[in-house]
């Protein structure tokens, strides 16, 4: 296994590492670590990192040989878009001169001879330590290993276990036929894997006790969805003990409307106007109980300035729609003009009345003063201040005064 370190360039946000000229007996797989230490969870045919920039990434390369190579083989590993490459020479050592072999070696469980550190098993036994009994479908150790190696794109037991007698024995938290499942990757809730309400299997939670959700975090209880109108007021679905409301409704219990005036306007139009058929109205007013109020009423919503309507939820969550005619409206401009003119006239009349009253009071006061002064005067018959005696003038025509 080899490791390559690369640094992302400004001109590229994707790095791809691949091989050329590898022999058929040699399988090359890649494991990449990039994007803030987010590593691949499995080995792939190409090493690839996307969306990187000014970032250090690492690639690990694994070589698996299915057969002994007859001679030294050479192949190249290079990065797409970069002229540089790495040449790798690969050879296999299948036989060596290590001296005399140890027959019935304890290292081989007494079922084979130990030579050069490798067990040569007796007929009917397989395995690195001849610990396995040969099955009908296993003619060699490589065939036995193949049962732990699902395809050439991965490692034996996915690199997370060892192959023992044709079966994978997984290490640590890994499980599965090929140790491909990481049970520690199951989702958590309340800092507990699967919320403590489920079992882990191949990275997924299998919930119990009617719990649901990726982390078994959805309780079967519905107490938070209950209201006086029933479960989610009949206008939603209780999921994870929370109401998921239908379109047009909101709130913890789906008891509030969203734009009720707009949503139910078409239904009101059907019942106010006469050109709609019963079929059209049935579609527009589906699952709605409609009633008409007698007389005139000014309700929450208006329709064409002639009708008003409002929408409520009934005791069981049913939709109730009431509509009525609007009261007759009066032109506000006319009312303002008439009110202003009337006010001016009334104020003028009041001013005239006040003026006449004050003038009348003044005249009454003057008359009373006159009467009072008349009563206080003492009149004498000889001297009447109102009587003036006659004056006699005598002219003698015979006497003419000469002014000369």
Same domain membership, residue 227 and residue 266: no
pLDDT (0 to 100) of residue 384: 58
pLDDT in tens, 258-298: 998 988 888 888 888 877 777 888 888 888 888 888 888 88
CB contact set of 335 (below 8 Å; sequence gap of 6+)? none
Same domain membership, residue 293 and residue 275: yes
Pick from 19-23, 66-70, 85-89, 318-322: least confident: 66-70
* Residue 270 structural domain: 259-325
pLDDT (0 to 100) of residue 96: 67
Q: Tell me the mean pLDDT in the region 103-129.
A: 82
Does residue 249 lie within any of the structural domains?
yes
pLDDT surpasses 70 at 32: yes
**Contact 32/41 with Cβ under 8 angstroms?**
no
pLDDT (0 to 100) of residue 173: 77
Q: Tell me the mean pLDDT in the region 117-143.
A: 74
Same domain membership, residue 308 and residue 275: yes
Quickly state the pLDDT bin for 48 (edges 50, 70, 90): confident
- Tell me the sheet residues that pair with 312: 320
Residues 90, 75: Cα–Cα separation, whole Å: 8
Does residue 379 lie within any of the structural domains?
no
Same domain membership, residue 57 and residue 30: yes
Does residue 197 lie within any of the structural domains?
yes
Question: What CATH number does residue 210 fall under?
Answer: 2.10.25.10
Residues 235, 248: Cα–Cα separation, whole Å: 9
Same domain membership, residue 85 and residue 57: yes
Does residue 143 lie within any of the structural domains?
yes
Q: Is the pTM of this model over 0.75?
A: no
CB contact set of 207 (below 8 Å; sequence gap of 6+)? 194, 197, 198, 213, 216
Highest mean pLDDT (candidates 242-256, 271-285, 329-343): 242-256
Of 239, 256, 273, the residue that ends a domain is 256
pLDDT in tens, 198-226: 887 777 888 887 788 888 888 778 888 99
Tally of domains in the chain:
5
CB contact set of 17 (below 8 Å; sequence gap of 6+)? 4, 6, 30, 32, 46, 47, 48, 59, 61, 77, 78, 79, 80
pLDDT (0 to 100) of residue 404: 46
Q: How many other C-beta atoms lie within 10 A of the C-beta of residue 312?
A: 13
Same domain membership, residue 58 and residue 115: no
Does residue 347 lie within any of the structural domains?
no
Residues 151, 2: Cα–Cα separation, whole Å: 21
The larger pLDDT score, comparing residue 18 to residue 382, is at 18
Same domain membership, residue 207 and residue 162: no
Does residue 312 lie within any of the structural domains?
yes
**Contact 62/43 with Cβ under 8 angstroms?**
yes
Same domain membership, residue 241 and residue 272: no
């Amino acid at each position: 296994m080899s490791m390559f370190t690369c640094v992302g360039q400004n001109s590229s946000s994707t790095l791809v590492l691949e091989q050329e000229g590898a022999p058929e007996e040699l399988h090359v797989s890649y494991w990449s670590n990039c994007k803030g230490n987010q590593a691949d969870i499995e080995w792939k045919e190409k090493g690839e990192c996307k969306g990187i920039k000014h970032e250090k990434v690492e690639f690990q390369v694994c070589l698996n040989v299915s057969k002994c190579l007859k001679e030294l083989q050479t192949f190249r590993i290079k990065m797409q878009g970069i002229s540089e490459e790495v040449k790798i020479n690969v050879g296999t050592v299948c036989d060596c001169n290590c001296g005399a072999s140890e027959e019935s070696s304890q290292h081989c469980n007494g079922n084979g001879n130990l030579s050069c550190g490798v067990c040569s098993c007796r007929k009917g036994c397989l395995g690195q330590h001849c610990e396995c009994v040969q099955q009908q479908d296993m003619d060699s150790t490589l065939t036995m290993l193949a049962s732990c190696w699902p395809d050439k794109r991965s490692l034996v037991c996915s690199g997370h276990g060892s192959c023992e007698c044709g079966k994978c024995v997984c290490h640590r938290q890994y499980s599965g036929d090929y140790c491909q499942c990481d049970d520690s990757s199951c989702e958590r809730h309340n800092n507990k894997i699967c919320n403590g309400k489920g079992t882990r299997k191949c990275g997924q939670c299998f919930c119990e006790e009617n719990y649901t959700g990726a982390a078994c975090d959805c309780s079967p209880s519905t107490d938070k969805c209950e209201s006086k109108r029933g479960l989610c007021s009949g206008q939603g679905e209780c999921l994870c003990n929370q109401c998921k409301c239908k379109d047009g409704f909101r709130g913890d219990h789906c008891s509030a409307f969203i734009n009720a005036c707009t949503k139910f306007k078409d239904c009101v139009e059907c019942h106010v106007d006469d050109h709609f058929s019963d079929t059209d109205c049935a579609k527009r007013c589906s699952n709605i109980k409609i009633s008409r109020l007698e007389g005139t009423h000014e309700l929450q919503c208006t329709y064409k300035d002639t009708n008003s309507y409002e929408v409520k939820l009934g005791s069981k969550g049913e939709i109730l729609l009431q509509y009525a005619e609007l009261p007759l409206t009066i032109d506000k401009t006319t009312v303002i003009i008439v009110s202003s003119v009337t006010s001016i006239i009334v104020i003028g009349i009041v001013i005239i009345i006040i003026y006449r009253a004050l003038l009348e009071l003044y005249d009454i006061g003057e008359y009373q003063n006159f009467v009072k002064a008349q009563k206080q005067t003492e009149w004498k018959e000889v001297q009447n201040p109102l009587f003036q005696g006659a004056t006699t003038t005598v002219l003698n025509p015979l006497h003419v005064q000469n002014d000369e």
